[in-house]
Chains A and B, each alone.
Chain A
Amino acid sequence: DAVLTQSPLSLPVTLGQPASISCTSSQTLLYTDGNTYLNWFQQRPGQSPRRLINRVSNRDSGVPDRFSGSASGTVFTLKISRVEAEDVGVYYCMQDTHSPRTFGQGTKVEIK
């Protein structure tokens, strides 16, 4: 299985400051079609998860441009350029390349 390890698991941030979450995969997530299927999700309290980023760096429709995704090998990063109060929640990475699909453990973002 492709194990995804997120860090940190808890991230206290100051409003207006940047935040960064990493997700390290135990194996390559490059699929035979040339795409890397690593997605990022935000789950606000009491809500269903919402996808923010698909295929490493593509923002989903309606996602603010303060969210960005990148990769270096098997290390994937979600960045928030300036944290806003509505960004509080748990963030998950998920790989959709290999079966079984797997999620990271989640990173809880809270305001200091």
Chain B
Amino acid sequence: QVQLQESGPGLVKPSETLSLTCTVSGISISVHYWSWIRQPPGKGLEWIGSVHYTGSTSYDPSLKSRLTISLDMSKSQFSLNLRSMTAADTAVYYCAERGGGLWGQGILVTVSS
């Protein structure tokens, strides 16, 4: 069946860069647009950005200056790099199909020294 699996560190120090990867299995990564979405503890869902296999990307304006989302078709993966992390970036990070039909299980990322 179709699965999305996030991987990356659970703890990041302030000012460092968060790098997360989402591995897509059971479906061609070229079929959909793919998104990163986050959820701070006890709060709602926040869209971070999206990527397509053509290289097209779209980012939330509030994160755009710190954010890069990329896709590797050969590995069936897409990735997030978020620079200059602060405590406000502490959240569960989800990868998902852009329309929300498919989600990973989420990974909690804590920003702390």
Contacts and interface: CB of A to CB of B under 8 A. Distances in A.
Interface of A: 1, 37, 39, 41, 43, 48-51, 54, 60, 90, 92, 94, 96, 99-106
B98 interface: yes
Given A48-B106, A100-B60, A54 B99 contact: yes
B103 A101 contact: no
Task: Tell which of B45, B46, B98, B101 has the most Cβ of chain A within 10 Å.
Answer: B45
B44 A101 contact: no
A103 B47 CA distance: 7
Interface of B: 35, 44-47, 50, 58-61, 94, 98-101, 103-106
The 5 closest A-B pairs by CB, nearest first: A101-B47, A48-B103, A103-B45, A106-B44, A51-B100
9 contacts: A48-B104, A49-B103, A51-B99, A51-B101, A100-B60, A101-B35, A101-B47, A102-B47, A104-B44
B47 A100 contact: yes
A105 B44 contact: yes
- Report whether over half of chain B's contact residues are helix, strand or loop; otherwise say mixed: loop
Nearest to A105: B44
